[in-house]
């Protein structure tokens, strides 16, 4: 599944250099063999009040199977651009796509001059009314006016849910006639950006909610969207005889339901190649499992459905679970763009087990951190359930033990990945040479401010952890003077000081992921002794936590022990007081040092 960047409605903003307006009118149809449908007519106007730049000369119109683009036209002033001004291309993507997102590019070229008005028009038709997107208002300086107009049957009601990172703007809904609903919003738009926040490019988002006789038409509730999606999947043919036999053969040696699901999960993640086929309705609806198994490729929803269907052959109730790998606004409404990934869910007793057949490096029950804690819509034959995804792996954990040489400020390390970092460690194992080196160096180094790691070798690999050895550079960690050796009390990476303006606002702080890191640094320091210092201990037991202490192991070796835990991928309003108290104290600790002095020094 993919996300679509689409702006709908009428938007006008006027800055010192550019005036821009977009006008889109929606036409809603509820009768016909295809069921409810929606289409749109788009007009984009842009006037330059300065000399044009190369960026001004190009106009981009995105399209996908969620919303096609037809009858694309552009004129500059009265000049209609020739066919040579248009071209279509697909952006380069990491994964393999068949079909997939398309970008229409218009080059206004030499026709664009100061004072010129560029008018672009096109039509859009959505394959399903459920695929109607958010109206996104970009966070730009200027004065904005947004008008959304829906032409619809008299028995259709249109309402709106508005999400805004800041204050929700005032708006008016007008219904001049039974067949028209208009949403109007005028407000000053001044660009505000916030650190540790995903929606700095968004001023507001509006989701039209269409219903008839009290029943949602465009799937804006978890139940209505889930039932629509479930019906599309239920209409697909199941496994053929070969697929059923395959499911039985793969699990012949498994004695428990969990062992059987592990076998199916391991087969699919290891043998079905990832290819995202976005042709037709493939952007959101999976392909039949028999087809995926025979072809040997599929994307996330194809793999999840294959596991579900093979499990069903064994009498196991595995369900499709829709979520997003990206941060999404916490809206009440549900919509197709809320989800970009499909995994599997299986209930054992009262608990859900989530597993991802798309992630070839994640064992059964372990999720990548970007899929943990997400709103997840579980699709079942008897209804749907919205929950938060969890991983059986627990916290991402990194344990590092260093043997350091005081004279050279270098050392050797044992680096162990476990918990939520296990899949990334297995991914690194699949790489070789410089590619593996770069991945591991970044994966470890991102957690420290005074250490850098290189030259990794595999030590042990188990079901629960992966350990590497490496070389460590400590020139910023060990600070030598003629009479003292200084060691930092707070060497773990954390938030930076630009987070503090976010203390008062109610919006979440997005930290990027949870983590727990332990670091032990052993230093041979004959003739030196530790100056007395109490251990540092910050935070609370079930929240952010940090501890640092130093001790004499013997007359020569000194050990510095650190334990850092950040259990939040995002800090919400009710958690901010404790978090900021921790963050301020931790950053202050950066200025403090353990220090060693010669044993014979006064």
502 DSSP assignment: G
The tally of CA atoms less than 13 A away on the side-chain side of residue 160 is 26
Beta bridge partners of 540: none
Res 6: pLDDT: 37
The Cα 244–Cα 310 span in angstroms is 7
The Cα 154–Cα 160 span in angstroms is 17
Closest CA to 133 of 74, 184, 64: 64
The Cα 295–Cα 248 span in angstroms is 19
Closest CA to 305 of 224, 377, 236: 236
Please provide residue 396's backbone torsions phi and psi, each rounded to the nearest 5 degrees. -65, 125
The Cα 160–Cα 210 span in angstroms is 9
Burial of 534 (0-12, 13-18, 19+ CB in 10 A): exposed
Supply the pTM of this predicted model. Answer: 0.88
**Alpha-carbon torsion 363, 378, 202, 576, what sign?**
negative
Q: Residue 296 contacts by C-beta under 8 Å, 6 or more apart in sequence?
A: 271, 272, 273
Res 187: pLDDT: 65
Q: What is the DSSP string of 341-366?
A: EEEEEEEETTEEEEE-TT-TT--TT-
Answer whether 370's CB lies under 8 Å from 513's CB.
yes
Closest CA to 539 of 478, 477, 492, 593: 492
Hunting for tokens 């008018």 — which residue is that?
119
Three-point CA angle 391, 365, 401, nearest 5°: 65
In the chain, what are the domains? 10-215 (2.60.40), 224-388 (3.10.620.30), 396-598 (2.60.120.1130)
Burial of 566 (0-12, 13-18, 19+ CB in 10 A): buried
Answer whether 276's CB lies under 8 Å from 298's CB.
no
The Cα 234–Cα 254 span in angstroms is 28
Beta bridge partners of 478: none
Pairing, β 485-488 against β 135-138: unpaired
Closest CA to 63 of 95, 36, 86: 86
Beta bridge partners of 383: 380
Mean pLDDT, each 10-residue run in order, the chain (602 residues) = 37 58 88 86 86 87 80 95 90 52 87 91 90 82 76 96 86 96 79 88 90 92 94 95 98 97 97 78 86 95 97 98 91 88 95 96 93 95 93 95 93 97 95 96 96 97 96 93 88 94 92 95 88 89 92 88 96 92 94 86 64
Maximum C-alpha span of the chain:
94
Closest CA to 421 of 447, 393, 458, 448: 393
Please provide residue 356's backbone torsions phi and psi, each rounded to the nearest 5 degrees. -120, 95
Three-point CA angle 483, 412, 443, nearest 5°: 110
């Amino acid at each position: 599944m993919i996300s679509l960047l689409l702006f709908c409605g009428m938007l006008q903003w006027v800055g010192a250099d550019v005036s821009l307006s977009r006008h889109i009118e929606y036409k809603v149809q509820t009768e016909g063999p295809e069921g409810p449908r929606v289409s749109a007519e788009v007009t984009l106007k842009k006037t330059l009040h300065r000399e044009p730049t190369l960026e001004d000369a190009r106009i981009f119109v995105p399209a996908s199977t969620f919303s096609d683009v037809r009858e694309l036209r552009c004129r500059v002033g009265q000049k209609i651009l020739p066919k040579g001004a248009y071209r279509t291309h697909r952006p380069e993507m990491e994964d393999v796509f068949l079909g997939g997102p398309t970008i229409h590019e218009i080059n206004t070229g030499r026709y664009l001059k100061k004072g010129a008005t560029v008018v672009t028009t096109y039509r859009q038709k959505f394959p399903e009314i459920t695929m109607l997107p958010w109206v996104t208002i970009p966070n730009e300086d200027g004065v904005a006016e947004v008008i959304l107009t829906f032409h619809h049957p008299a028995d259709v009601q249109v309402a709106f849910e508005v999400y805004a990172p800041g204050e929700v703007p005032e708006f008016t809904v007008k219904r001049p006639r039974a067949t028209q609903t208009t949403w109007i919003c005028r407000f000053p738009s001044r660009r505000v950006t916030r650190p540790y926040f995903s929606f700095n490019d968004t001023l507001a988002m509006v989701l039209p909610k269409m219903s008839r006789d009290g029943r949602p038409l465009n799937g804006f509730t978890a139940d209505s969207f889930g039932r629509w999606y479930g019906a599309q999947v239920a209409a697909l043919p199941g496994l053929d005889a070969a697929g059923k036999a395959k499911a039985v053969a793969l699990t012949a040696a498994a004695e428990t339901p969990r062992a059987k699901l592990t076998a199916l999960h391991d087969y699919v993640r290891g043998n079905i190649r990832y290819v995202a086929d976005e042709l037709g309705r493939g952007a959101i609806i999976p392909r039949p499992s028999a087809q995926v198994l025979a072809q040997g490729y599929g994307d996330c929803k194809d793999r999840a459905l294959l596991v579900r269907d093979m499990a069903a052959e064994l009498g196991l109730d595995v369900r499709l679970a829709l979520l997003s790998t990206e941060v999404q606004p916490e809206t009440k409404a549900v919509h197709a763009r809320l989800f970009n990934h499909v995994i599997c869910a299986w209930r054992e007793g009262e608990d859900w087990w989530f597993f991802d057949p798309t992630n070839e490096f994640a064992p059964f029950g372990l999720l990548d951190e970007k899929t943990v804690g997400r709103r997840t819509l579980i699709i079942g034959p008897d209804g749907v359930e919205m929950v938060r995804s969890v991983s059986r792996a627990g916290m991402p954990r990194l344990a590092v033990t260093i043997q350091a040489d005081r004279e050279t400020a270098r050392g050797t390390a044992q680096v162990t990945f476990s918990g939520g970092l296990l899949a990334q460690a297995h991914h690194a194992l699949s790489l070789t040479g410089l590619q593996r080196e770069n991945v591991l160096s970044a994966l470890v180094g991102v957690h420290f401010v005074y250490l850098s790691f290189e030259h990794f070798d595999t030590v042990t690999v188990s079901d629960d952890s992966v350990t590497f050895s490496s070389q460590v550079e400590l020139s910023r960690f060990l600070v030598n003077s003629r009479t003292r050796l200084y060691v930092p009390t707070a060497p773990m990476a954390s938030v930076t000081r630009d987070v503090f303006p976010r203390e008062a606002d109610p919006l979440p702080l997005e930290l990027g992921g949870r983590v727990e890191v332990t670091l032990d640094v052993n230093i041979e320091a004959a003739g030196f002794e530790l100056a007395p210092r109490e251990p540092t201990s910050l935070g609370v037991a079930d929240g952010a936590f940090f501890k640092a202490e130093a001790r004499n192991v013997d007359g020569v070796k000194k050990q510095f022990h650190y334990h850092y835990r950040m259990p939040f991928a995002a800090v919400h309003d009710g958690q901010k007081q404790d978090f900021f108290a921790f963050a301020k104290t931790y950053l202050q600790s950066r200025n403090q040092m353990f220090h060693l002095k010669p044993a014979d020094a006064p």
